[in-house]
Amino acid sequence: MSSDSGRISLFYIILFLWVASWTASTNGPVMPLYINHLGIKESDWGLLATFMAAGMVVFEWLWGFLSDRGNRLIYTSVSLLVMTLLFPLYTNRGFIHVFFIFQILLGSFSVSMGPISRSLVSDYSSPEKIGLAMSLWSVFMTLGSMIGSLLGSYIAQRWGFSYAFYTSSLLSCCALVFSVFHYRSFADYQRSVNNLLEAAKDGFHKIVLNPSIRLLLLIAVVSFMSQSVIWSFLPLFASVMVNMSTVEIGLMNAIFSFTGLLASITIGKLSEHVRKEPIIFAGFMSSSLFFLSFYLAVTPFHTYLLSTLIAVSFSVYPLVVASLSELAPKEHIGLSMGIYGSFEDMGMMIGPALYGLIWELFSPRHLFLFSGFIQITGTVLILFLWKKS
């Protein structure tokens, strides 16, 4: 194992623990069910999800920018420390009126992992391997999500919702220890700049003036606006409309994650031999059709099947990030990933709030019609990107 691949492997472990900690409670099937258990309305849950996304939008680019200036793992450790302390606070019913503050804090600090992890993969990957490396990044994200969702759902049903949040805190603490122990292994990419304001202005100028990157930013907003229905409302849809239990919903999330894991490896290897754009287009187009088909889902089998097919379609998304890695200026790779992530967060911020309103004004089934049409817009943008490249 080379030094670069070894360092990426170390960070993949930290990434896995981080995702598992998050999806075991606040970003998995447990959270919307816990909110429902507390008697909070679906529209209010949509707003709480929006508060978390707002914290992500505001801070993701900043974490990416800061990580370009120093050892990226130091910022990861700060984020993990805050998350370790924050998760248990959700278990206190007396704090319900300040859940929106917890959501903002969680979004603001947890979002650091996105641009930092993608930047580290870009730092230590050769150009011909970046597609596969980003797909492996997605694999470890998926593994963490799969295990975290299943673990959190099982613990919540067996011992109660509070223990799912304690589990999240424990996993986050493990990732923190691992991060602190290995932070010196990632010191060679740190840079220092005397004038941070000038560095930020230079980075924004180089990134935003690239027309292909601007298209990628629009794709990020649209795609995550569509995808946000899966993590914010699919668990509620499965519970209310299809009468699935908490464990069945956790299993659905685990199958979704495992399918995405296998598909990501296949797509990553395929990208070494085939142009990225047609693969991305096929994934976006097919996911649009699967979202629309959810309108007809009436049994657990339908829900399992469609969510699994959507997972396969979503596996092309790391290739979009790989395209950004190829287009972005290398001295501003962290800022590029941060800005891109902020546009993803905008989609996650807008989506749940709209879905909450659609749930109340129309019906839960209309959520997926809306998300399907949004994803079709993303497919059209992919065609424009394909034409430019």
pLDDT in tens, the chain (389 residues): 445 566 667 677 777 777 777 666 776 678 888 888 888 777 777 788 778 878 888 888 888 888 777 777 788 888 889 988 988 998 888 888 888 899 899 888 888 887 888 887 777 766 667 777 777 887 887 788 778 878 888 888 889 888 988 988 998 888 888 877 776 655 555 555 556 667 777 777 788 788 888 889 999 999 999 988 887 788 888 888 888 887 788 788 778 878 887 888 888 888 778 888 888 899 999 999 999 998 888 888 999 999 999 999 988 888 888 888 888 777 777 788 888 888 887 887 788 888 888 988 888 889 999 999 999 999 999 888 777 76
Question: What percentage of the chain's residues is helix, strand, coil (to nearest 5)?
Answer: 85, 0, 15
Do residues 190 and 66 touch, judged by C-beta distance below 8 A?
Answer: no
Nearest residue to 229 via CA among 41, 362, 366: 366
What is the third-level CATH fold of 3-181+195-388? Growth Hormone; Chain: A; (1.20.1250)
- Distance separating alpha carbons of residues 178 and 68, to the nearest angstrom: 21
- The answer to whether the pTM exceeds 0.85 is no
Domain ranges of the chain: 3-181+195-388
The H helix count followed by the E strand count for the chain is 16, 0
Max Cα–Cα distance, the chain, nearest Å: 60
Which amino acid, 152?
G
State both tokens at 304: 């399992």
CB atoms within 10 A of CB 92: 11
